[in-house]
Amino acid sequence: MKQKLIEAAKKVAENAYVPYSGFHVGAALLTESGKIFTGCNVENSSYGLTNCAERTAIFKAVSEGETKFTELVVFSKTDELFYPCGACRQVISEFSSDLKVSIISLKDTLETTIAELLPHGFKL
Ligand code: THU
């Protein structure tokens, strides 16, 4: 399943709409029910409106009625590894406090969890 998620994240990164940064990101999210939701980053000429790949995947899943996730793969099409931004960490933690997160680049992989990425996240 991990390999399937990695392939899905790499594939969706090709759809990244990144005319400003040229930085392709793809995310693949596995639900408890076994479905995969993918997302890419979508930029905007009003830069602050950009949506990250992770949040695109989560919003797609939630809008399809899925809120229970078991694994997330985030791929940056770069040699270097890039961690998810703070906003995405907070959004991920809304749904899963113990989600497995794999961060991958063209050269490396790092396995972590949302608990490690966002200790003491905001929760109501
Ligand atoms: N980006 C993501 O897609 N995910 C992150 O966690 C951090 C940043 C995107 C947003 C923007 O399109 C580009 O990377 C550069 O910031």
For strand 25-31 and strand 36-40, is the pairing parallel, antiparallel, or unpaired?
antiparallel
pTM of model > 0.75: yes
Q: Which residue among the candidates 14, 32, 43, 54 is catalytic per the annotation?
A: 54
CA dihedral 118, 20, 9, 97 (to 10 degrees): 10
Mean pLDDT, the chain, as a whole number? 97
CA 82–ligand 1 middle distance (angstroms): 9
pLDDT grade for 1, boundaries at 50, 70 and 90: confident
Beta bridge partners of 42: 17, 51
**What is the model's pLDDT at position 27?**
98
Which residues lie closer than 8 Å to 69 by C-beta, 6 or more apart? 29, 30, 31, 32, 58, 61, 95, 96, 99
pLDDT digits (tens, 9 = 90+) for 56-115: 999 999 999 999 999 999 999 999 999 999 999 999 999 998 899 999 999 999 999 999
Q: Are 95 and 70 in contact (CB under 8 A)?
A: no
In the predicted model, what is the mean pLDDT of residues 18-43?
A: 98
Cβ of 26 less than 6 Å from ligand 1: no
Q: Walk me through the domains of the chain, giving residue ranges and CATH numbers.
A: 2-117 (3.40.140.10)
Active site residue 111: no
